[in-house]
Structure 1
């Protein structure tokens, strides 16, 4: 590091990071900036092999070409009500955040991938539903990395089809207590739409089928065709992790039910989980048809139609106009207004009348139409905690983007554009020189939790891409 030629006195390295100290105190003048330059060099360990020969000029040229390709892919980013320059800035920041979290294959991680946040040392691994979102976003500008992100998780697919929650450099630390919501087929389909890579579809199809079937074999306690979140060890905490919404208010009163050895379910069927599974059947049909598996495609389409009717009948509460989780064995809703309620619209499972009712709730200022819109729990819920609530009120950008797409899918284009605009202009620092955050305060727009968060970047890229 250099500050006007002063240089650096020492660099101390620890397991958690490193610290740089200047030779002399750094004096700052009021209202003036001082620039610090960090110069890094690769020191090759010749004890482990011969130092590779690198043509520096060629390497720099290839690097520039690669980055030009990344940025060209998002150059046409647009968002109604937002200056084009602002939309492109958000897109570029999204690309930089995702690529900044790129990690090469090493240890027991057999393919490259993207970690959730390099700013949080607890995130030194790959998580399943993070990976699905990362891959879908990467498909538009770094498709090779997108494919590897998917492969990294499926490298550890179990014989019964399960994919673990998260994987690490040391596979002994992998979390097999639960998996994560089923968005893998959606991510593969997004990669295919961006690349037309049928070889990748063929590589992934059987794996996706096994993972999809696993949900109904191990997480459908009453065998009624609707699944539940659960765990392999029977614990409530792992079952909540499986939802991805760790402390969601809808799970406050769950009990665990044993399905078999190493398979437990919550005692409630979740609206978002079954919407994801419905959509996955349609995605598997699309993939099967692209691979010339017409009979498979017809089967997936039939299954989707049957599941759609069941979700519409069982999980929509006409009196409240919203989709809710339902208790097993009885027609009893879990009446928590959360972001899971609009997943049915994102997946296309709602009727037009149901969608209209859900949209009214989403656009209600007392519930979800906050300054930064679409929090994960309605603002009028007594458990609403917009700063420290984690999944009890902060805005998580993946769920917010699902909400924008949900509105668009059912013709609420103007309202969707307004929500999307507010998600950009009211998130503090987003359009300026500041990092993207894990989640945001819906009342103030302040960012919270981990900085440089990958799925926030992926979601904002979805929001502004054209």
Structure 2
């Protein structure tokens, strides 16, 4: 046993520190928590959170073998490598499904990010976006229920939660404790595919309370937002002064991605409120969003570079061309007189149009790593998907297809060589990096990018519409495509001589819908009835 001479003032101080440490550890071990003052300011919306205290669903998730015949079945005869990658993706994803651990306080079976034994807000939000296609077999969307069940009384939700005991990995006021705020995007994507207003009713107050927490505790006086490398999800990207830690510090920056994400999340909440008749709940956030959009466009846009940048506290812009800026497309916050110049950077080979599009850091940056460097140049599935969705919003369909087919081809080429998917990819060579068997958000590429951009199939079930943007000239399609709660559609696009030729297709559906077909040579709209419809 160590003996300490308490007559020595330095030793007395040491003894006090040891004793205090033992008390903290004892409190934590015995469940009494840290001896901090209670600083919670309750948000009444949290009282509407039905996930807190919900009875846990401890059922076993299905395995891939029993699920496969009910999953969407793509076909593309000239690309068996793509189809093989697609099915391997689902096989790995289903191997990552987890039953609820009763000690965690989780409420729903979920997909595990398969990273470190924790669930991540950033990862899980993206994983649900491809998981939506498996809803007839397993509801991946319920993965987010476990975050909602852990919401604090003031609206906070931690970005990383331990699967073993359901505890938060960060104290809530830590700059890295939460974010990115993209759960509203995930829920809205799910709504567009399934028109599930019952779920929308449940998640709306949860997401609004979380948005309000973010606004209260993550914004600067000018209305812009801050985060950290871990908080924004791009752990090690060089974005601030070298005196600050890239992973943990906010660096006194106005963060361009976090600010644009708040604009987008607010706009989604406003749309949700319209559907649910809760417009009065979002009056204030509409005002906040208008002011934030103006602040970004007035002070975070560089007229010479025609680009959005992080802003230092002295008002100067950082000049780091990060993919973070392209959240502005998804947010619909880029003015028309800037959009063309802003998007041109994606087509510039000295910046983002590399062998594998799109690196997370422009190639003309001194910190760009042609092999990836994690977030200093690597190509990541979630950020690429964000860019594709943003380009769609502004009507850059041709560029979106170009990026999508490039992205898919590179991922599949690495898959052909390594028989697996990777956490991220090199921008200037055919190479997968870091974690292998990563499904994980990389599942977005063989599923969402294939369906929504290479095949061009994008639903809007609340409007009873299905868009097919035909770019391929090969014959292709998908069987058992889920549409709404009970819809099941077979889509077959016939081979064409060139991209200008009007597409011929066969649609077999068990529900009526409006079909919108686009291609390089034109567009037509057709009402599809139940049964088989031949379009020539």
In structure 2, the partner of 1:159 is: 153
Q: Which runs of 5+ in 2 are unaligned?
A: 1-60, 452-456, 458-536
Q: Does the residue aligned with 2:424 lie in a helix, a strand or coil?
A: strand
Deviation, 1:219, is 1.1
Report the Cα distance in structure 1 between the residues aligned to 2:249 and 2:418, rounded to whole angstroms.
Answer: 46
In structure 2, the partner of 1:438 is: 423
* Residue 254 (structure 2) pairs with residue 247 (structure 1): no
CA gap of 1:83–1:344, structure 2 versus 1, over 3 A, is: farther
Of the structure 1 ranges 82-91 and 170-179, higher mean CA displacement relative to structure 2 is found in 82-91
Q: Does the 8 Å contact 1:254/1:267 carry over to 2?
A: no
Report the Cα distance in structure 1 between the residues aligned to 2:185 and 2:372, rounded to whole angstroms.
Answer: 31
**2:104 paired residue among 98, 101, 108:** 108
Q: Does the 8 Å contact 1:219/1:264 carry over to 2?
A: no
Q: Does the residue aligned with 2:311 lie in a helix, a strand or coil?
A: strand
In structure 2, the partner of 1:174 is: 169
Report the Cα distance in structure 1 between the residues aligned to 2:203 and 2:330, rounded to whole angstroms.
Answer: 24
In structure 2, the partner of 1:127 is: 120
Deviation readout 1:15-56 (Å, 9 max, x if unpaired) = xxxxxxxxxxxxxxxxxxxxxxxxxxxxxxxxxxxxxxxxxx
Query: Which structure carries more relative contact order (alpha carbon 8 Å, separation 6+)?
Result: 1
Q: Does the residue aligned with 1:373 lie in a helix, a strand or coil?
A: coil
Deviation, 1:88, is 4.2
Higher radius of gyration, 1 or 2: 2
Report the Cα distance in structure 2 between the residues aligned to 1:172 and 1:298, rounded to whole angstroms.
Answer: 34
CA gap of 1:172–1:151, structure 2 versus 1, over 3 A, is: closer
Report the Cα distance in structure 2 between the residues aligned to 1:124 and 1:363, rounded to whole angstroms.
Answer: 38
CA gap of 1:246–1:443, structure 2 versus 1, over 3 A, is: same
In structure 1, the partner of 2:326 is: 342
Q: Which runs of 5+ in 1 are unaligned?
A: 1-58, 230-238, 257-262
Deviation, 1:146, is 2.5
* Residue 203 (structure 2) pairs with residue 217 (structure 1): no
Report the Cα distance in structure 2 between the residues aligned to 1:63 and 1:391, rounded to whole angstroms.
Answer: 32
Q: Does the residue aligned with 1:439 lie in a helix, a strand or coil?
A: strand
Report the Cα distance in structure 1 between the residues aligned to 2:97 and 2:268, rounded to whole angstroms.
Answer: 27
* Residue 94 (structure 2) pairs with residue 99 (structure 1): yes
Q: Does the 8 Å contact 1:89/1:431 carry over to 2?
A: no
TM-score with structure 2 length normalisation?
A: 0.65
In structure 2, the partner of 1:19 is: none
**2:281 paired residue among 296, 310, 313:** 296
Deviation, 1:443, is 0.8
Q: Does the residue aligned with 2:379 lie in a helix, a strand or coil?
A: coil
Report the Cα distance in structure 2 between the residues aligned to 1:102 and 1:252, rounded to whole angstroms.
Answer: 41
In structure 2, the partner of 1:227 is: 225
Deviation readout 1:49-92 (Å, 9 max, x if unpaired) = xxxxxxxxxx99x986633222x2xx3588xxx95655544443
Report the Cα distance in structure 1 between the residues aligned to 2:194 and 2:66, rounded to whole angstroms.
Answer: 19
Report the Cα distance in structure 1 between the residues aligned to 2:406 and 2:64, rounded to whole angstroms.
Answer: 35
* Residue 197 (structure 2) pairs with residue 204 (structure 1): no
Q: Does the 8 Å contact 2:111/2:140 carry over to 1?
A: no
Q: Does the 8 Å contact 2:322/2:362 carry over to 1?
A: yes
Deviation readout 1:76-129 (Å, 9 max, x if unpaired) = 588xxx956555444433333322221111131513222223xxxx52121111
Report the Cα distance in structure 1 between the residues aligned to 2:207 and 2:390, rounded to whole angstroms.
Answer: 24
CA gap of 1:447–1:265, structure 2 versus 1, over 3 A, is: closer
TM-score with structure 1 length normalisation?
A: 0.75
Report the Cα distance in structure 1 between the residues aligned to 2:311 and 2:151, rounded to whole angstroms.
Answer: 29
Report the Cα distance in structure 2 between the residues aligned to 1:408 and 1:419, rounded to whole angstroms.
Answer: 12
Deviation, 1:172, is 4.8
Matches within 5 A, 1:260-409: 265-296=250-281, 299-328=284-313, 330-387=314-371, 389-409=373-393
Report the Cα distance in structure 1 between the residues aligned to 2:284 and 2:165, rounded to whole angstroms.
Answer: 40
Q: Does the residue aligned with 1:163 lie in a helix, a strand or coil?
A: coil
Report the Cα distance in structure 2 between the residues aligned to 1:463 and 1:124, rounded to whole angstroms.
Answer: 27
Deviation readout 1:232-289 (Å, 9 max, x if unpaired) = xxxxxxx321111111111344659xxxxxx995411111111111111111012112
Report the Cα distance in structure 1 between the residues aligned to 2:446 and 2:204, rounded to whole angstroms.
Answer: 28
Deviation, 1:397, is 1.4
CA gap of 1:189–1:404, structure 2 versus 1, over 3 A, is: closer
In structure 1, the partner of 2:399 is: 415
* Residue 445 (structure 2) pairs with residue 456 (structure 1): no
